Structure 1
Amino acid sequence: MSMAGNLRKVGSLRGVDSLRRVARLARRRPRVDLSHPARSPLGSAVVNCVTYRRGIRQSGSSDVRDAVRHVRKHGDGFVWLGLHEPSEREFADIADLFDLHPLAVEDAVLAHQRPKLEEYGETLFAVFKTCCYVDHAQLTATSEVVDTGEIMVFVGRDFVITVRHGRHGSLGHVREDLEASPEQLAKGPAAVLHAIADHVVDDYLKVTECVQSDIDQVEMEVFAKDGERADPGRIYQLKRELLEFKRAVVPLGRPVQTLATEPPPVVPPEIQAYFRDVSDHLLRVAEQVAAFDELLNSILQAHLAQVTVAQNADMRKITAWAAVIAVPTMVCGVYGMNFDYMPGLHARYGYAVLLAVIGALCFGLHRGFRRNGWL
């Protein structure tokens, strides 16, 4: 074979390899950065729309109507639709397609809801408060410690709709973990609800560990030497941030307990056991938050007590020195009244004796105050 033929053969092999690489890349599913606040190319508010059958992600169109039509045609599987801060207009068509209750739709669009669990016919509506710890080089009186967001979840027989509000709370890795366990994902939409609840509570545990470090730092500074000079604004700010965290954790206890003990029909019994584990973790977080609240109260009271003690010590010192200075002031005031007949007024050593008496009295007072801890 000629050299030109060999070159053509090599070029064709390289072309085949290139096509194979392109095909492999095309088979890879697109990865969307769900933590980014920008809207996804799938729509103004749609982050992802995927169909699952027997726990396996199905390829095909990402159009919501096509996905629902495909699932209901085959009679198995479900659709997982992810949204980020949709407007009322953007959510209207989705609400009509899945027959969502208007009250639940209003809560999902407006956000700023308490954690809760509502049942509307065959659709379950759950609200979770997401929390993340805000890193800071040093805690100040204005530091943001806990940032919160919201995740609303609609769970039906053949669909899961997640509506996320806030700058964090990405569900990308939750989806990936579920897709890595097809046997769990095959249990239906309730498995997604459990994974989201478990993800939210796990984030709570991470926040409690970081808040514990801040509380330890504040406590160490308050009980250190010159602890009365610590900034009480830092303690108060940490308590306010803990209160915001508490508003996310405590109200979630009853919904998770309901899912663990008396779940609605959309949650099968095999998923109920998983919610009991989530309930245990949430109870631990709630206990830690209550303990943190009590500890911050004690730290704040201890700081105020230290300030009071320091002020009392300063007042004792001022009073003691005032008593010492009062002796020469009184004596000099008496002898400054210009009477003719006063003790030692015309004596040769009267002035020296008077100074000696004043010095002895001042020394005695000073020594007595030092012995009693006033100076």
Structure 2
Amino acid sequence: MDSLVSARAWRDGVPVEHAITRNDLVTAAHDPDTLVWVDLLAPEASELAEVAEELGLPVTAVEDALAPKERPKLIRHESHVFFTVYAVHRDGTRLGFSRVSGWMLPHALVTIRLDELFDVSTVERRWKDSPALLAAGAGGLVHGLLDTVVDGHFAAIQTLDDALEAIEDTLFDDRPTSTAFARSVYALRKDLVALRRIVLPMREVVSGLLRHPGTDAPVLRPWYDDLYDHVLRASEWTESLRDLVTSAFETNLSLTDARLNTIMKKLAGWAAIIAVPTAITGWFGQNIPFPGDGQPLGLWLSAALILVCSLALYVAFRRRDWL
């Protein structure tokens, strides 16, 4: 089977030395003393149907695993539990998402990945560090997988949080914001919306596992309670970041309006000051007699009026914070 990437088996939490082959898969998966994990990478529908048939799974199991654009979900069948989650990774400057699905049987876990962007070696190390979980059955394997996925959600949320702090620093800078700033805020909001779509449904996935007989063993219950707490924290953090991004966008608009009002006040103030010499020189330019007409007194009188009136307007505007 070309899509088979890894196959592991444990007995009482201890790895089985010999490798699990395709022929051993069915026997090991139905052995109550053996725990089996099989990882499939981008399998064809026909390949997946063969595995499902050998494991005694219904045809709908293949449809669930390969259906496009599925949201994170958990479906409990009579023979197995199916789940779909999304791992997060960096794709350049944006967030990328990798879909991971799984069939959880009483003594086996089959994971189906559609790409190689999710590193299963991290999950294997977590299983290796927690042999007590593996001794509890397939629920321990699922916990290690979901715990790794949720940790990736936290890392992505932290990245967005740091980006939001940088935006806030730019937002309250004295310099006006540019189009690039608005573009960065929009990109952050778009990433956050996409992340929210995969983080919030995780509550239903973990909550459904908490009610499943395969994960209610005494040794597993505290681990799943802790995982559910992490999922809630990630959801709340995502919601708070969404509110902050919205506030940042609205604050930017408010600050832009405030800067525009300040500029308009200054322009109006200087226009009023400039209007004083214009009015006085225009008055003294009329062809009618006025005090100092035809004498040096007229020049000094007009200059004094310009200076006094302009200075009075400048002081008045300055007190009102117009200049």
TM-score by length of 1: 0.76
Residue by residue over 1:210-254, the C-alpha shift from the partner in whole angstroms, topping out at 9 and shown as x without a partner, is 332222222222223336568232222212212222111111112
Tell me whether 1:65 sits opposite 2:13 in the alignment. no
Tell me whether 1:98 sits opposite 2:55 in the alignment. yes
Question: Which of the residues 215, 238, 251 maps onto 1:267?
Answer: 215
Question: Which residue does 1:353 correspond to in 2?
Answer: 301
Opposite residue 96 of structure 1, the aligned amino acid is E
Question: Which residue does 1:11 correspond to in 2?
Answer: none
Q: Is the 8 A contact 1:52 1:77 kept in 2?
A: yes
Q: Is the 8 A contact 1:127 1:153 kept in 2?
A: yes
Q: Is the 8 A contact 2:168 2:248 kept in 1?
A: yes
Q: What is the alpha-carbon distance in structure 2 between the residues aligned to residue 199 and residue 188 of structure 1?
A: 18
Question: Which of the residues 123, 126, 135 maps onto 2:83?
Answer: 126
Q: What is the alpha-carbon distance in structure 1 between the residues aligned to residue 112 and residue 279 of structure 2?
A: 81
Question: Which residue does 2:147 correspond to in 1?
Answer: 198
Alignment of 1:133-172 (within 5 A): 133=90, 143-144=93-94, 146-172=95-121
Question: Which residue does 2:197 correspond to in 1?
Answer: 247
The structure number with the bigger radius of gyration is 1
Tell me whether 1:235 sits opposite 2:185 in the alignment. yes
Question: Which residue does 1:9 correspond to in 2?
Answer: none
Q: Is the 8 A contact 1:123 1:156 kept in 2?
A: yes
Residue by residue over 1:319-356, the C-alpha shift from the partner in whole angstroms, topping out at 9 and shown as x without a partner, is 111112222333444566x64x3425843133442233
Q: Is the 8 A contact 2:6 2:38 kept in 1?
A: yes
Q: What is the alpha-carbon distance in structure 1 between the residues aligned to residue 131 and residue 102 of structure 2?
A: 21
Q: State the shift of 1:287 in Å.
A: 1.6
Residue by residue over 1:272-323, the C-alpha shift from the partner in whole angstroms, topping out at 9 and shown as x without a partner, is 3321110011111112222222222232332222222111111111111111
Residue by residue over 1:101-146, the C-alpha shift from the partner in whole angstroms, topping out at 9 and shown as x without a partner, is 4344223224432111101222100111212356x7xxxxxx41x3
Q: What is the alpha-carbon distance in structure 2 between the residues aligned to residue 75 and residue 258 of structure 1?
A: 23
Q: Is the 8 A contact 2:28 2:34 kept in 1?
A: no
Opposite residue 93 of structure 1, the aligned amino acid is E
Distance of aligned partners of 1:80 and 1:97 in 2 relative to their CA distance in 1, 3 Å threshold? same
SS at match of 1:132: strand
Question: Which residue does 2:65 correspond to in 1?
Answer: 108
Note the residue ranges of structure 1 that are not aligned, 5 or more in a row.
Answer: 1-42, 137-142
Alignment of 1:293-304 (within 5 A): 293-304=242-253
Question: Which residue does 1:374 correspond to in 2?
Answer: 322
Q: What is the alpha-carbon distance in structure 2 between the residues aligned to residue 266 and residue 111 of structure 1?
A: 28
The count of residues paired between Structure 1 and Structure 2 equals 320
Q: State the shift of 1:93 in Å.
A: 1.7
Which deviates further from its counterpart, 344-353 or 206-215? 344-353
Q: What is the alpha-carbon distance in structure 2 between the residues aligned to residue 182 and residue 276 of structure 1?
A: 19
Q: Is the 8 A contact 1:148 1:166 kept in 2?
A: no
Opposite residue 164 of structure 2, the aligned amino acid is I
Q: State the shift of 1:60 in Å.
A: 4.1
Distance of aligned partners of 1:151 and 1:326 in 2 relative to their CA distance in 1, 3 Å threshold? same
Question: Which residue does 1:88 correspond to in 2?
Answer: 45
Q: Is the 8 A contact 1:45 1:84 kept in 2?
A: yes
Distance of aligned partners of 1:75 and 1:287 in 2 relative to their CA distance in 1, 3 Å threshold? closer
Note the residue ranges of structure 2 that are not aligned, 5 or more in a row.
Answer: none
Distance of aligned partners of 1:193 and 1:291 in 2 relative to their CA distance in 1, 3 Å threshold? same
TM-score by length of 2: 0.87
Distance of aligned partners of 1:232 and 1:167 in 2 relative to their CA distance in 1, 3 Å threshold? farther
Residue by residue over 1:38-92, the C-alpha shift from the partner in whole angstroms, topping out at 9 and shown as x without a partner, is xxxxx432211233333333344543233213554x5531331101222323323
Percent identical among aligned pairs is: 25
Q: What is the alpha-carbon distance in structure 1 between the residues aligned to residue 154 and residue 303 of structure 2?
A: 72
Which deviates further from its counterpart, 190-199 or 97-106? 97-106
Q: State the shift of 1:159 in Å.
A: 2.3
Question: Which residue does 1:258 correspond to in 2?
Answer: 208
Q: Is the 8 A contact 1:115 1:251 kept in 2?
A: yes
SS at match of 1:266: helix
Question: Which of the residues 169, 180, 187 maps onto 2:136?
Answer: 187
